[in-house]
Chain A
C-alpha cells in the first residue's frame, strides 16, 4: 500500500485551476519524482500534500488516513515534512537555530541531539558554519540548511521542491547524492525537479506533469528512455 496516495485532486487559486485531477502514489521507502515545465503545478501538488493549500476535490491519504481538514502543522507532526522551494530558511537565525526549529515538534531531546550530530556529519559544511546567520550563507549552503532542518523533524516522508535550483553542476551532483543517502535510511521521498534527467535517474517511480495533469508515469528508468520525455525535457 502506498505511503502517500493522491486521487483526483483538484486545486484552485481563486478561479485558476492549478491541478486538474491528479492521482499518484508513493510506495514506502522509495523515491518518487514529479517533473514538468514551469507552472505545471509541481509546487502546488506539494503544497496540497503539506496542507498549505486545500484541494477543492479529491482525496490525499497518508499512511492510510485522509488528510482533508488537517492543518499544516498537524500534517508536519505526522512525519510528512516539506523542504520548500527557493531555500526558504529563517534568514535572521543562525544555522544552529534553524536546525533547532526543524525539531520544533519533537520532545525527545537526546534523540534530537543525536540527529543533529548525524546531520552535521552528512553536511560537514554546516558544522563549520553553525553560528553563522543563515541569511549570509551561500545559495548551496542555504539549500543544505533547508534540507537538514527538514530532516531534524525525523520525517517518515520528505517532500522536496527543486533542491537543485540555482546550484552549480557539482553541487547538484552532491544534492542528489544526499537525497539518495537520506532515502537509504528509510525516508520516503517525493522529489519535485526541473532537472528531469537527474531526478528520473535516481527515482524509483516518475510522474510527468503538464498544465495540472499527469500525462505520463512509470519507473524512472523507463521514463528516461521514453521518446516523449526525451523530446520535451531532456532535449
Chain B
C-alpha cells in the first residue's frame, strides 16, 4: 500500500513539474526545436524524458520485476495526469489572459494534434508507456542500460546542437558523406538518428568491454583515468577552434577568459577564504589599463604595443587588488561579501562618472584598441585570440598551481581555517591577505587585458556585477580550490549557456536549475580539491560532536 502511494506521489510530482514547465513556456520554446527533423521535437523529448525518469525512479532497487514494472506503469499514469488535465483545461478555459504560454499551440502539442479528449487519453497512454520503458530500463542489466542511455543521449545532443555539429563537419569527402547521411540542412534525419543511436550504443558497449569491470579499479587507477580523460578533453578543446571555426573560437575564448578569472578568484575564495563579489573591478582595471596604453583614440596616454601594455595591466591590477584589500582587511564572512560587492560597484560607478570621463571616456568608453601583433602577423581573428588566451591560461595555471603548494598557499589555508591561530603560529595576516587580493587580481587583470583587445574597445557596461557572480558560481560548481574544477565549471556555466543562446533568457533558467541541482547532488563541485572533499567527508562522520569549531567557520 505504501509502495503504491509512494509511486503515485512520485508520478504526480514529476507530472506537476512538467505542467509547470508547460505553463511558464519552457515546453513551447523547446517544441520549436527539432531533435529528429520532422519526427521528434525537443518539447516532446522533454515530456518523454519526464516519463522515463518517473518510471526509472520508482522502479529502482525493486526486487521483483513485476512489481517494478507495475509501479512504473502506475507512476507514469500519475505523471501524465496533471499534464493531460492541463491540456484539457487550456482547451476549454481562456487561460491565456493569465498565462501567456497557455496558447492553442501548447494545446496542440500536449494533445499530439488530436481533439482534446482523445489527446488527453493519448497523453495518459504515452505517459504510462514511457514510464514503463523507464522502469524496464532501470531493472535491466547495467551494460544494456548504459548502451541505451548513451544512444539516447547521442541522439538528443546530435539533434539539439545540429547547427553547430554541421558547422564543424564542413568538409567534403568521407566526412561530408557522413554529414549528409546524418543531417539535412534542417536537422537530424530519422535514419541518421537511428545510426547515431546504434553507433553510440556500440561505442559504450566497446568502452565497457575495454575497461572490464569498473569496480575493480582502485582509487589510483580511477585518478589516472580521470587525468587521461581530462587530458583528452583539453586536447579537443585546444584543437576545436581550428576545426570548427570562428564561432566556436569565440565561445571558447570567453571560456578561457573566465578560466583565467576563475583561477584568480580561486586563490582568494578557494584558498584564502576571502569571499569577493567585487572581482569584476580587477577585470575592468586590466581592460582599461590596456585600452589607455595602446588605443589609437584621443584618450590614449601612450601608444605601447600590446605586449608592453599587458604586463603593466597585470601590475596595475595587482596594485588595485591590494588597495581593494586594505579597507576590508578586518572584515570577515558575510560582511566581507557585502563590502566587496560595494567596492566593485564603486569602481564601476567611478568609471561611469563625469568626473573620470576626461580620462576614461565615461559611458562611451575607450575605442580603437589595436589587435596584438607578432612580427607582421596580426592576432585579429577569434581563433588567434583564443590561442593567445590559451597560452596565458596555461602560464597562469602553472603559477596558480605553484602558489597553491607554496608557503603562501599554506598560510592562506591556515588563515581560512582560523585567523587567530594562524597568526599565533607566525603567519602574517595583513601581508597574506593583501597578497591574496593582489595575486587574484593579477589573473583578472590579465583576462581584462585580453578582453580589451578582443572587443577592440572598452565600456563601463561590460563590467557588471553579473561577471563577479558568474566567476564565483563557476568555481563553486567546479569545486572550490581546485584547478581542474575551474575549467569544468567554466565549460558548464559559460560554454553551455553560450551554445544555448537561441533559447534566449530561458537559458538562465537552466543555469539556475543546474546550480540548484549541483548544490543538492554534488556540493563539493565537479572536481573537488582534496582538502575540500575531506572537509565534507569529515562533516559526515563527526568523531566528537561540537569539537570542530574551526571547520564550522566560513
Contact = CB atoms under 8 A, between A and B. Distances in A.
B550 A88 contact: yes
A93 B481 CA distance: 14
A138 B538 contact: no
A101 interface: yes
Contacts of B537: 133
Given A72-B429, A73-B427, A91 B538 contact: yes
A133 B413 CA distance: 14
B423 A149 contact: no
Nearest to A136: B543
Nearest to B534: A133
A93 B426 contact: no
Interface residues of B, number: 33
Interface stretch (A75-83, A194-202, A208-216, A219-227): A75-83
Contacts, number: 109
A76 B423 contact: yes
B410 A135 contact: no
Contacts of A52: 420, 423-424
Nearest to A92: B535
Contacts of B429: 71-73
A87 interface: yes
A83 to B, nearest CB: 9
A62 to B, nearest CB: 14
B417 interface: yes
Contacts of A73: 423, 426-429
Contact of A137 (B411, B414, B543): B543
Interface in A98-118: 100-102, 104-105
Contacts of A133: 534-535, 537-538
A93 B430 CA distance: 23
Query: Which of A81, A89, A105 is packed against the most chain B CB atoms within 10 Å?
Result: A89
Interface residues of A, number: 34
A136 B535 CA distance: 10
B414 A101 contact: yes
B97 interface: no
B523 to A, nearest CB: 15
Contacts of A92: 413, 417, 531-532, 534-535, 538, 550-551
Contact of B417 (A81, A84, A90): A90
A52 B421 CA distance: 10
A84 B420 contact: yes
A86 interface: yes
B417 A93 contact: yes
Interface in A34-76: 50-52, 71-73, 76
A89 B417 CA distance: 9
A139 B543 CA distance: 9
A142 interface: yes
Given A71-B428, A149-B425, A153-B425, A88 B549 contact: yes
A82 B422 CA distance: 11
Interface string A117-161: 000000000000000010111110010000001100100000000
A149 B538 CA distance: 20
A90 B423 contact: no
B538 A84 contact: no
B426 A77 contact: yes
A153 B410 CA distance: 15
A86 B424 CA distance: 15
B425 A88 contact: no
Nearest to A79: B426
A77 B410 CA distance: 17
A76 B541 CA distance: 34
B421 A76 contact: no
Contacts of B517: none
Contacts of B410: 100-101, 104
A214 to B, nearest CB: 24
B424 A104 contact: no
Nearest to A137: B543
B544 to A, nearest CB: 5
B427 A104 contact: yes
A133 B537 CA distance: 10
Nearest to B417: A90
Given A52-B423, A136-B543, A137-B543, A90 B550 contact: yes
Contacts of B422: 101
B322 to A, nearest CB: 17
B434 to A, nearest CB: 13
Contacts of A77: 426
A133 B536 CA distance: 11
A133 B541 CA distance: 11
Contacts of B374: none
Nearest to B411: A104
Contacts of A104: 407, 410-411, 414, 425-427
Minimum-distance CB pairs A-B, first 10:
A91-B551, A105-B426, A72-B423, A76-B426, A91-B550, A135-B548, A92-B535, A136-B543, A90-B417, A135-B538
18 contacts: A52-B423, A72-B420, A73-B423, A76-B423, A81-B425, A84-B424, A88-B418, A88-B420, A89-B421, A90-B413, A90-B414, A93-B417, A104-B425, A133-B537, A135-B535, A135-B551, A137-B544, A153-B426
Interface of B: 407, 410-411, 413-414, 417-418, 420-430, 531-532, 534-535, 537-538, 541-544, 547-551
